[in-house]
């Protein structure tokens, strides 16, 4: 549950420019948007600060005509939309929107079906997230436990190969 949404902010790229040309088609471009919100976890009653990013895309010349500057505030929200279908129509890029559980590389699923997740900017301030709950929590917990065990082993103090007590 959202407690408070900050405004959507226009960001600059690494060169400080608002419009970033598409590497494969310089006539197309995008503008990076970001929004921070404070969300209440209804189970723990803890407030989490979340930052979301989205990109608006169109011909670069049209984006330039919009006249946005870094730091401009836009109406609306950045929302999360989830689906059982890939958002990309190109099969080569379909997997980039898979919903992944943290840094486990485990795809979130419901009834064995992969969940796809994207963020999108909407000027409609009433539009809310459309999410799908996953049901493969045990698989995710097992992957997290394995990562934790691997990290503990990696960080354990190990004797140097030259270590000797008897001199």
CA pair distance 36, 122, nearest whole angstrom: 15
Q: Are residues 82 and 69 located together in one domain of the fold? A: no
Per-residue pLDDT averaged across 113-130, rounded?
A: 94
pLDDT at 43: 86
**Which residues 6+ apart lie within 8 Å of 119 measured at CB?**
52, 53, 54, 78, 79, 80, 81
In the predicted structure, residue 4 carries a pLDDT above the cut 90: no
Per-residue pLDDT averaged across 13-37, rounded?
A: 93
Q: Are residues 145 and 107 located together in one domain of the fold? A: yes
Residue 165 falls within a domain, yes or no? no
In the predicted structure, residue 14 carries a pLDDT above the cut 70: yes
Count of domains for the chain = 2
Which residue range forms the structural domain that includes residue 112?
A: 78-154
Q: Are residues 66 and 86 located together in one domain of the fold? A: no
3-class DSSP string for 57-100: EEEHHHHHHHCCCCCCEECCEEEEEEECCCCCCCCCCHHHHECE
Q: What is the pLDDT of residues 85-97, one digit of tens each?
A: 999 988 888 899 9
Q: What's the pLDDT band for 70 if we cut at 50, 70, 90?
A: very high
């Amino acid at each position: 549950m959202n407690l408070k949404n900050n405004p959507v902010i226009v960001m600059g790229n690494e060169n400080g420019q608002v419009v970033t040309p598409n590497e494969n088609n310089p006539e197309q471009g995008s503008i990076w948007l970001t929004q921070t919100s404070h969300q209440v976890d209804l189970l723990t009653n803890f407030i989490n600060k979340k930052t979301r990013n989205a990109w608006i895309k169109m011909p670069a010349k049209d984006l330039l005509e919009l006249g946005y500057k870094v730091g401009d505030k836009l109406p609306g929200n950045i929302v999360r939309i989830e689906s059982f279908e890939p958002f990309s129509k190109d099969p080569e890029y379909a997997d980039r929107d898979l919903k992944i559980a943290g840094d486990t590389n485990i795809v979130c699923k419901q009834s064995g079906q992969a969940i796809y997740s994207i963020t999108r900017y909407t000027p409609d301030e009433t539009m809310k997230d459309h999410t799908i709950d996953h049901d493969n929590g045990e698989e995710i917990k097992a992957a997290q436990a394995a990562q934790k065990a691997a990290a503990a082993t990696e960080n354990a103090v190990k004797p140097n190969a030259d270590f000797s007590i008897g001199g």
